[in-house]
Chains A and B, each alone.
Chain A
């Protein structure tokens, strides 16, 4: 396989667009829905971690002004239009704006359960809006739209996705794609220092992957859509952290270490799919080979409103014909 290179004049049987880790970014979701037209993709896939991590409380004042601290800078608004702009910017960065008062803020700040409930509600509202948007824009387009939760996403995301008549969730199941391509999905990941909703030990992850992989009919047409990348693949390199979750610095920058999953790596080596799609490690984008398998992590710059992705050409004869990383 020659990544990035296409044979002159030949047409791939399936063009797949893959991105991951958009973490609630409104603008990235809109770009994702525009990807079929822009890249000419037949199938578009988000590989997990679709929900945001931050709530930005916006405190209303009696004079109608509002203020919030967003990305480390205190933002003040005087008009409703300014406030709407601020909310849009917060949403585009993948965060959740929440209008509140100083009294309510104090109550929330003292009650983790209440913050959890607020996160659940705001996440559900955004997902609901996204599903409607997808339905409006892709219905009757003929494009297959696959979205799944990742290790950072609440389980309630799965339920929300299941309500969509357009979006398919490959998480924990096998899907048939055009031209005999088949895909299995896995949103669970190996343990992280943050104890995320779908972090599980490697042996448990292996046990979840095995029946899915066994269900594959033809590995040479199979796509593993696993959120976490294989261990030590070069697509799983992240800063080493100390006990306080600070990056460990060297004289040449942060010390980088592999943090991917051994279970995922073992599965790729054992079942030899033609393609494995991953996200999770935002700063470790790239395309590699693990045995016969082309392994892709497009990275993520969701907070900057940039949608990193991969345009993948799949050919009936040669399998994965090209992978082009793109920054939309």
Chain B
């Protein structure tokens, strides 16, 4: 007989029994959260800032972090109530309705499939193209410059995107263990590369490196001055600062994906909560550090002029990884300072396909999707059909992104913000509509008599609602298109059609589907 002991929760007695897993360490959860945030997106976040005259990048990032934490706290607390993988699918099915849970899961999965393809394009546009182009300029090697330019063109985007998409899908198919090993090292090296880039920018800001001189040495004497001439930096305004929030939000909020790692001994104040909040705060600081030191090193005028005028003389896009490489002027450091984009984006792809294929598998297990989607490789134990379906659909999105202007970087934010809004609204209502579940859960924490989850959910709902609105109306830098909006609506409606279509089909074959999700009534 195993010896009982006093539990790690004060006052609790615990006996030796299986499954008593301790909470995940804070460091690990923050690491996971940072991975979900994809800090490589700081490249286009900084570039897009130039199109929001009067926006304070830093304050916008701070406000985004606060709003994202509101959503994140809701996710973390709901994960404490329903500590099972499945995320929104589980919360919403249990608290609201199974059809809504499925629809939100469907919408999320739809857009994760989209980004599995589009992240392939990002890998080429924001990773390979800047690195090769900058190396070509620094070494005087025209071939490298041409390769860089090719990776920024539709064919190059398609080829590089397809390659990384196939590699990542194959790694996931081969099983998660080897993928995790690669991912851990890739993320560590990527974060080190990002830290190096921030350090270089900081050294530029304090005068150790001189951007103007480095830029002129590469682009020709007086080039820097040409870029900044006539560029004015408007004073900060609140509306512009708020409007810019869609960009940092596009990264920072995705830490909420870390929702299902609670053990059976629940400490709602730890684990996912610390991981989500901690990684959001850290990501916010990283985003701000990039911009703060970039301003110091290059000036606001240059960063705006390089993007919004035609006077930028180099045959490369003025992304921060390229500009930082120009600042230091060393080809080896150029390679090292581009690794954070080249390594982190493929792992964003990995997260995309893992989420999407797991969702397809879960639907299959619940009988909402064809059994075929649940087929697992005998050899590698991975959901081979689901992975294949995700990869093929993603390839279609990659082609659309590479060869048309129908969709943009932020197209999916519209769909994602619907999901975050629905979850936040659910969080507001949860303590009142599921009072018994709330009261017996570890989320039953109040401040001034008001449930913490409700307070956080109000912040999250306002934030998500604002993102949703801005994602519809923001035409700046191609943030949204009519096609994106139409696809978003179609995905939402399609989720309902799929859910009820599957039920009708299965009911027609004699399966008692009405009781699949219903709570068993007890006397």
Q: Which residues of A contact B (CB under 8 A)?
A: 2-10, 27, 30-31, 33-35, 38-40, 49, 53-57, 59, 68-73, 75, 89, 92-93, 105, 108-109, 112, 115-116, 118-119, 137, 151-152, 154, 192, 194-197, 199, 232, 234, 239, 241, 244-247, 249-258, 280, 282-283, 285-288, 299, 301, 303-307, 311, 322, 324-328
Contact = CB atoms under 8 A, between A and B. Distances in A.
Nearest to A239: B21
A133 to B, nearest CB: 10
B59 interface: no
A81 B512 CA distance: 39
Given A38-B521, A69-B12, A152-B17, A249 B28 contact: yes
Those 10 A-B pairs whose CB atoms lie nearest each other, nearest first: A249-B28, A328-B520, A89-B440, A251-B35, A6-B510, A250-B180, A55-B13, A31-B520, A71-B442, A30-B522
Given A39-B515, A119-B15, A194-B16, A251 B180 contact: yes
Nearest to A90: B440
Given A109-B6, A252-B180, A4 B511 contact: yes
A314 to B, nearest CB: 15
Interface string B167-188: 0000000001101100110010
A192 B350 contact: no
A34 B522 CA distance: 6
B235 interface: no
Given A71-B266, A325-B516, 14 more contacts: A4-B371, A4-B511, A31-B519, A54-B7, A55-B12, A71-B441, A195-B16, A196-B2, A246-B25, A250-B176, A251-B187, A254-B261, A305-B440, A322-B511
Contact of B440 (A92, A112, A258, A299): A92
Nearest to A108: B13
B39 interface: no
B9 A306 contact: no
B85 A283 contact: yes
Nearest to B4: A115
B519 to A, nearest CB: 6
Contacts of A7: 509-510
Contacts of B376: 234, 288
B498 to A, nearest CB: 16
Interface string B352-364: 0010000000000
Given A10-B510, A53-B15, A255 B176 contact: yes
A102 B28 CA distance: 37
B502 to A, nearest CB: 10
Given A251-B32, A304-B81, A72 B18 contact: no
B272 to A, nearest CB: 11
Contacts, number: 244
15 contacts: A30-B523, A53-B20, A93-B440, A109-B13, A195-B16, A239-B261, A241-B21, A244-B22, A246-B23, A249-B261, A253-B85, A255-B176, A286-B374, A304-B82, A304-B441
Contact of B365 (A34, A55, A287, A304): A287
B509 A112 contact: no
B180 A34 contact: no
Interface of A is mostly: mixed
A73 B367 contact: no
B180 A255 contact: yes
A226 B22 CA distance: 27
B9 A72 contact: yes
A72 B515 contact: no
- Output the residue of B5, B365, B508, B510 with the most chain A CB within 10 A: B510
Contacts of A195: 2, 16
A116 B266 contact: no
A75 B266 CA distance: 15
A68 B10 CA distance: 10
Given A251-B180, A255-B176, A324 B512 contact: yes
Contact of B444 (A73, A252, A325): A73
B372 to A, nearest CB: 10
